[in-house]
Amino acid sequence: MSVLLWGVLPYFAIVLLIGGTVWRYRYDQFGWTTRSSQLYESKLLQIGSPLFHFGILFVVIGHVAGLVIPESWMSAMGVGESAYHVMALVIGTIAGVGTLVGIAILIYRRRTIGPVFMATTKNDKVMYVVLVGAIVLGLITTALAIAAGTGGSATAESYNYRESVAPWFRSLFVLQPDVATMAAVPVAFKIHTLVGMLLFAIWPFTRLVHAFTAPVHYLFRPYIVYRSRDARPAPGMTTPRRGWDPVGTKDRESAPARTPSRRS
Amino acid sequence: MDGLLKTGRFFTRWDESADGRAVYREGGRQGDVFYRDRWSHDKVVRSTHGVNCTGSCSWKVYVKDGIITWETQQTDYPTTGPDRPEYEPRGCPRGAAFSWYTYSPTRVRYPYARGVLLELYREAKARLGDPVLAWADVVGDPERRRRYQQARGKGGLVRTSWEEATEITAAAHVHTIKTYGPDRCAGFSPIPAMSIVSHCVGTRFIQLIGGVMTSFYDWYADLPVASPQVFGDQTDVPESGDWWDSSYLMMWGSNVPVTRTPDAHWMTEVRYRGTKVVSVSPDYADNTKFADEWLPAQSGTDAALAMAMGHVILREFLVDRAVPFFHDYVRQYTDLPFLVTLVERDGAYVVGKNVTAADLGDTSEGAAWKTVLLDEATGEPVVPNGSLGFRYTESGAGKWNLDLAGVRPALSVRVAPGESGAVEVLLPAFENADGSGSVLRRGVPTRTVNGHLVTTVFDLMLAQYGVSRAGLPGQWPTGYDDAATPYTPAWQEAITSVPAEAAIRIAREFATNAEESGGRSMIIMGAGICQWFHGDATYRAILAMLMLTGSMGRNGGGWAHYVGQEKCRPITGWLSLANGLDWSRPPRTVPGTSYWYMHTDQWRYDGYAADELSHPLAEGHLAGLSTADTIAKAVRLGWSPFYPQFDRNPLELADEAVAANPDRPADHIVERLTNGALKFAVQDPDAPENWPRTLVLWRANLLGSSSKGNEYFLKHLLGTHSNATATEADIANREVLRRPEIPEGKLDLLVSSDFRMTSTTLLSDIVFPTATWYEKHDLSSTDMHPFVHAFSPAIDPPWEARSDFDTFHAIARKLSDLARTHLGTRKDLVSVPMQHDTPGETAQPGGHALDWAAGEVPAIPGQTMPVLAVVERDYTAIADKLSALGPLTEKLGLGVKNVTFRLDEQVRQLAGMNGVMLGGAADGRPALDTDTKLAEAILTLSGTTNGELAVQGFRTLEKRVGKPLADLAEGSHEKQIRFADTQARPTPVITSPEWSGSETGGRRYAPFTVNVERLKPWHTLTGRMHFFLDHDWMRDLGEALPTYRPPLDLHRLLGEPKLGPDGAKQVVVRYLTPHSKWSIHSEYQDNLLMLSLSRGGVTVWMSPQDAAAIGANDNDWVECVNGNGVLVARAIVSHRMPEGTVFVYHVQERTIDVPKSEATGKRGGVHNSQTRLLVKPTHLIGGYGQLSYAFNYLGPTGNQRDIVTTIRRRSQQVEY
């Protein structure tokens, strides 16, 4: 079971994420969109959207710092376990709560504003459940960590996922999943991780793909872009296809010559 | 920001512009393919939108992969010439939204029949084996008949085959013709000009079987009855390009940008020439924002403002300063100088009748129709040319013109030499808001002519308007500021709320402009003033301003009435072929209002007597009559038609009459009528034998769009559930029999042909799927521009849809087959009234309402009673006749307005172009068996589209008028507009005697320019434009002269509550149903695109004050309840609306968002659920000059603007 959950499932998620994205990019570029609903409602959107997006950006940074960077590297930089935890808890909580409030506003808006709700697909609804699930569970793990850390009990050291979840996560990328470590983490972390994997698995098939094409470059380029015509499919540039040809019989052998001069 | 850019530049290499704004990249435009595909298409087809839309805009319809995708405006209209804007582009968002219908969810894709009926019919047919017997069996059983009638409007339409649907339709017609008579079969299809062929083919079918076509123009209340009254013309108006010629432009009750969208640009552009634009509207309408000045006259009070302006114009421009331009004009072109008798009454005098040559002792032909004026030089009475007495008489040939031959008519009897006195005249007025009459005592100068005390119309006009002159008796206003006396500017201020100062100033500007520009003052008039009960009176008051200032018959001047007006430019071809005049005459036509008022039993709920509208000075011609009685009387006197005509089958009656008196069958009918053995059906409309039995609707949405009194239609005509709230009126009827029971479910079969599900199709028994306007060949024309252009099929009718042309041919073929066993060839006794523009209009001299039934005159068909004619109908040959041009074309000729074309050459041409039919009843006759051939025939047989006929017609007319006219068309003698020309591009028409204006030499069309410039008379009693109407009924209603009549007081007449809030969270308001900018007529209120652009759903616009009175906020559900029905809608609360008036936009249909009503528990109604028919008796007048019947020319209007309703906020929880 543990092997399935922590040794196989992650690779399924990765395959779906990468394969799905490639597939989507190839076959559904036109559907590669957030289907913006700003036209229908903008007052709530202009509060909820930045709150959520900046929040989730910090959440991502937090995850990178916690999961990708080994604890030893962090220590080498002089950030000790307790300092890291305070930082992670404070920034993580602010970012997490910001994200949660942001998405709460967005979902409230999506449900109550008629035109916006009308423009919401089943796909969107499933995505919202998973996304909110991942965020809430992530906050719960953070809350548990805080509770553990401030519980007053000396034995209940705050749980250090950098010694369990993070190594497992990194082990996935060297194709030697450290299943045992992961199997031993508290259940809240497990559920959060599972929902996270689910989120990545469905990612390419939802509107979340827009994250891959965030117009970051827009900030760093001149604001007018001129593109030259492509070499091929432009009007008037197609090569003439086969038309009325001489059929090769005696009387039609040299048909073009007999036809009153037609410019080719 | 610059930092970001530098960072980007640091990491990336790119080719950029010198200022760093733009970057140049190679390729990467694959995404363009989507947008290129979006607009790529396979073909573009010319078509237009085709029922009521007067825009008549030519459109490009785009087709891709066999699918209609979108449409854009055509831009190839011929130029209007230098120094003026062009017609292109024409088209509005509604037209651009039409292609939605092709594949819309409401599209009718297959023939449908009412399920209950279908089961009954199939059962009966299986049993009896014959369609006609099966139909007779079903409708002959009251229980089964009621069963399917009560299923109407409740779903249950099932798919059927074309074969079965046409069979049932044909069988019902054959059964009705056989059992009750062809005049129990009715058809309705409005506004032919916008899809002439479709209208023509169905009407032709109805007329060939002897059925009845009900009118639309008067029924819609779009007909300004003032036009026949004043001009003797149905309606003739300038094209919109002529607005550009105007130098003072008023818009009076016409919201030009909304209802004439493609033409509105002329109004905005002409302001740049310095033209002042004035708007008169009760609400802050869209056109008002373009205006330089806004006169916000309260709804329905416009005539008070017009009378006050007329007062100023008469005072300052015709009396105090006699402007020569105005004086010369009214002398020659109006009836102002004509003499009128005065009759003694109560020590004073009242207005009598026009003086005619007969009053001077002349006994020659037509003397009673030759009106008289005074020569200013000699003071002697003179009979000038041009009056009706010169139009049909042999001696009048060459003298029917406005040439005064050197005589200078005296405008006032005072100015002519000779003795003259002065007397006090009593003039009717309607100063009280409840509409009751009062009497004005004023004075006129008089003279005695051949024993008659007379004065002129001009003298009477001054008395009427209260323009005093020295030395005259009577009571006169003290000045403009006399607020107590009609019709001063101060007096109108209390009624209209327009400041007296503004009324005076605008009147002066209007007249001064006309004086300086030679009559280029124009008034665009619209539904806001036309569709009232007394709309004709309002129009006459406004037209008076134009006639007094010499503005009629001018480019850039005169009236411009734009309400459902249309111009079927190729009118002779359409009219003749539609009415089947090439096969048999006369056709049966009827004013829709009288027809539906009686047959939907609205007359039984109408609780006021006709003479409640009369005036205290009335002679009592309407005394004791109910409104229904006035209709019956008008029918009996041969004024106005009604069908069924008698209480007997006209086929049997014809057999009986011919048997009794083979030479003069009419005599037999007269005898039976006088001895009471035969009765007019209108005298007992509720008798089962007098009910209409079949009704065919095409291009029409009768129920839900135009059915004023919708709930009465549902209850009594259709016999299904309704929200009818009225109780029967307690009123005596003298002419019409009131049966104890009011019948429900008169109609056996309701057939409709449409491309979308409408309120009407939901109620129909048979629904035919028809081609849209992008799926058939047809013709379109309008009066807004001078071009005819084509409809073309962009695709074939999809699913099982067929064009109207094919539908009616299929029905006709079926009917002809069934007729072989059931009908054969029959004789039909047809009764029609005396008609305008025929000698029949000189039947009843003096305008006396003399009744043969009361022994006041002998009963003579065509003179004192209807014309009676026997027509032979071969019912087995209906299909053959429908598809070929009949022989009466050459034998009798075809024509309009008393100009008959000789058509031998044109028939030969048509036979050559169209080919001839082989075999059958129409063997050898030119073929009309396809829609394009019918279009070709319509164009070939009309003067506007065939130069040879235009010239020929003018030559014919020249003989009567005695003035040169043919030169107007001679330049176009060889021009013939073919159908292919209209397909290629919009094609300008040829000046023709069919109309009153001239397009010669590329001139913009303005009505009556031929009359003014060529001295051709108007088609009226005097041959001039009329201020004065002396018919008995006009005088009794107090409307002999222009006047103000307030909106009907429905509290007084029908017991509706008084206007205003009553303190109980409900408010009584005026209920108006104007057109919106999101629907009508090139698409309808169910179009998703337009619903998305507007609020959508059923809405009522109300003022913040009224909303506050009932505690409603914007978008709240409200309920309107009045004596006719209920309406549930959402409130749109807007400052644009004036207090006390609500708008419920026209035709918000049953198909979109109609919840159940709290008041009745049933599904709420449509906008017309709140309305009812109110018939004005003077619209029924006939047999007297311009006041004679013609189809859509004169008939009671189906006005609906006097309606009031009670609105309250309802539970916000609505159920469907």
Determine which of B48-52, B820-824, B1017-1021 has the lowest per-residue pLDDT on average: B48-52
Banded pLDDT at B1145 (limits 50, 70, 90): very high
Contacts of B23 in chain A (CB under 8 A): 221-222, 224-226
- The SS3 assignment for B188 reads strand
> Does residue A10 lie within any of the structural domains?
yes
* Residues B253-266, mean pLDDT to the nearest whole number: 94
Beta-carbon contacts of residue A68 (< 8 Å; ≥ 6 apart): A166, A169, A170
| Chain A interface test: which of B26, B34, B1091 (most A C-beta within 10 Å) | B26
**pLDDT tops 80 at residue B767:** yes
CB contact (8 A) between residue A221 and residue B36: no
Instruction: Give the residue from B997, B1008, B1210 showing the smallest Cα distance to B1116.
Output: B1210
Say whether the ipTM exceeds 0.85: no
Q: How far, in whole angstroms, is CA B955 from its chain's centroid?
A: 31
CB contact (8 A) between residue A219 and residue B4: yes
Strands B59-64, B43-47: parallel, antiparallel or unpaired by DSSP?
Answer: antiparallel
Residues B1160, B1124: Cα–Cα separation, whole Å: 12
Contacts of A28 in chain B (CB under 8 A): none
Report pLDDT for A155: 37
Q: What percent of chain A has pLDDT over 70?
A: 87
Report pLDDT for A151: 44
Beta-carbon contacts of residue B2 (< 8 Å; ≥ 6 apart): none
Distance between B978 CA and the closest CA of chain A, angstroms: 35
> Does residue A251 lie within any of the structural domains?
no
Chain B contact for A227 (CB, 8 A cutoff): yes
Residues B1079, A40: Cα–Cα separation, whole Å: 24
Peptide bond into B644 cis (omega under 30): yes
Report pLDDT for A236: 63
Chain A contact for B13 (CB, 8 A cutoff): no
Contacts of B8 in chain A (CB under 8 A): 217, 219-221
Counting Cα atoms < 13 Å in the Cβ hemisphere of A112 gives 8
Residues B396, B387 contacting (CB under 8 angstroms): no
Q: Is B738 left (phi over 0), alpha (psi -120 to 50) or beta?
A: beta
Residues B266, B241: Cα–Cα separation, whole Å: 7
> Does residue A217 lie within any of the structural domains?
no
CB contact (8 A) between residue A220 and residue B4: yes
Banded pLDDT at B960 (limits 50, 70, 90): very high
**pLDDT tops 80 at residue A261:** no
Report pLDDT for B1: 65
Residues B911, B926 contacting (CB under 8 angstroms): yes
**pLDDT tops 70 at residue B741:** yes
Angle between helices B931-940 and B196-208 (to 10 degrees): 90
Chain B contact for A236 (CB, 8 A cutoff): no
Two structure tokens written together for A5:
């959950």
Q: How many other CB atoms are there within 10 angstroms of residue B834's CB atom?
A: 27
Report pLDDT for B7: 87
Chain B contact for A154 (CB, 8 A cutoff): no
Q: How many CB pairs under 8 A join A and B?
A: 55
- Amino acid residing at B727: T
Angle between helices B500-517 and B535-548 (to 10 degrees): 50
**pLDDT tops 80 at residue A260:** no
Contacts of A227 in chain B (CB under 8 A): 25-29
Mean pLDDT of chain B: 95
Report pLDDT for B651: 97
* Residues B621-640, mean pLDDT to the nearest whole number: 96
DSSP collapsed to 3 states, B21-90 = CEEEECCCCCCHHHHHHHHCCCEEEEECCCCCCCCCCCEEEEEECCEEEEEEECCCCCCCCCCCCCCCCC
Banded pLDDT at B74 (limits 50, 70, 90): very high
Domain that holds residue A55: 2-23+37-211
Q: What is the dihedral of CA A229, A234, A236, A241, to 10 degrees?
A: 130
pTM of the model: 0.89
**pLDDT tops 80 at residue A158:** no
Banded pLDDT at B169 (limits 50, 70, 90): very high
Of B11, B21, B33, the CB nearest to A222: B21
**pLDDT tops 90 at residue B803:** yes
> Does residue A48 lie within any of the structural domains?
yes
Q: What is the dihedral of CA B798, B804, B805, B807, to 10 degrees?
A: 80
Angle at Cα B937 formed by Cα B50 and Cα B801, nearest 5°? 40
Chain B contact for A233 (CB, 8 A cutoff): yes
Two structure tokens written together for B608:
């006021």
CB contact (8 A) between residue A224 and residue B21: yes
Of B22, B30, B34, the CB nearest to A222: B22
Domain count for chain A, please give it.
1
Contacts of B1091 in chain A (CB under 8 A): none
Contacts of B1096 in chain A (CB under 8 A): none
Q: Which A positions 40-69 lie with beta carbon below 8 A of chain B? A: none
| Chain A interface test: which of B1, B2, B5, B37 (most A C-beta within 10 Å) | B5
> Does residue A220 lie within any of the structural domains?
no
Instruction: Give the residue from B548, B552, B551, B559 showing the smallest Cα distance to B519.
Output: B551
Residues B1068, B1062 contacting (CB under 8 angstroms): yes
Q: What is the pLDDT of residues B559-593, one digit of tens each?
A: 999 998 889 999 999 999 999 999 999 999 999 99
Minimal-distance CA residue of chain A relative to B11? A220
Of B16, B29, B33, the CB nearest to A222: B16
* Residues B23-32, mean pLDDT to the nearest whole number: 85
Residues B386, B400 contacting (CB under 8 angstroms): yes
Of A222, A225, A228, the CB nearest to B27: A228
Residues B356, B383: Cα–Cα separation, whole Å: 8
Chain B contact for A228 (CB, 8 A cutoff): yes
Chain A contact for B11 (CB, 8 A cutoff): yes
Angle between helices A122-149 and A187-202 (to 10 degrees): 150
What is the CATH classification number for the domain harbouring A154? 1.20.950.20
* Partner residues linked to B354 by β-bridges: B340
Residues B1180, B636 contacting (CB under 8 angstroms): no
Q: What percent of chain B has pLDDT over 90?
A: 90
Give Cα separations from B479 to B422, B488, B542 (angstroms): 22, 7, 21
Residues A120, A113: Cα–Cα separation, whole Å: 11
Q: Which A positions 192-221 lie with beta carbon below 8 A of chain B? A: 217, 219-221
Distance between A201 CA and the closest CA of chain B, angstroms: 28
Contacts of B17 in chain A (CB under 8 A): 222, 224
Q: What are the phi and psi torsion angles at B205 (to 5°)?
A: -60, -50
Distance between B1012 CA and the closest CA of chain A, angstroms: 58
Chain B contact for A225 (CB, 8 A cutoff): yes
Residues B1072, B1081: Cα–Cα separation, whole Å: 18
Of A217, A226, A230, the CB nearest to B22: A226
Instruction: Give the residue from B678, B597, B674 showing the smallest Cα distance to B645.
Output: B678
Chain A contact for B14 (CB, 8 A cutoff): yes
> Does residue A49 lie within any of the structural domains?
yes
Contacts of A221 in chain B (CB under 8 A): 5, 8, 12, 14, 23
Give Cα separations from B1096 to A114, B142, B1091, B1129, B1133 (angstroms): 14, 42, 5, 11, 15
Taking the alpha carbons of B95, B99, B102, B106 in that order, is the dihedral positive or negative?
A: negative
> Does residue A76 lie within any of the structural domains?
yes
Q: What is the pLDDT of residues A102-127, one digit of tens each?
A: 999 999 999 999 999 999 999 999 99
Task: Write out the DSSP string of B418-453.
Answer: S--EEEEEEEEE--STT---EEEEEEEEEEEETTEE
Across B1031-1154, where does the E strand assignment appear? Answer: 1060-1061, 1066-1072, 1099-1102, 1117-1121, 1126-1133, 1141-1143
> Does residue A149 lie within any of the structural domains?
yes
Residues B514, B549 contacting (CB under 8 angstroms): yes
Two structure tokens written together for A36:
């913006």
Q: Which A positions 17-36 lie with beta carbon below 8 A of chain B? A: 30
Two structure tokens written together for B247:
């130098």
Minimal-distance CA residue of chain A relative to B22? A224
Residues B1187, B1181 contacting (CB under 8 angstroms): yes
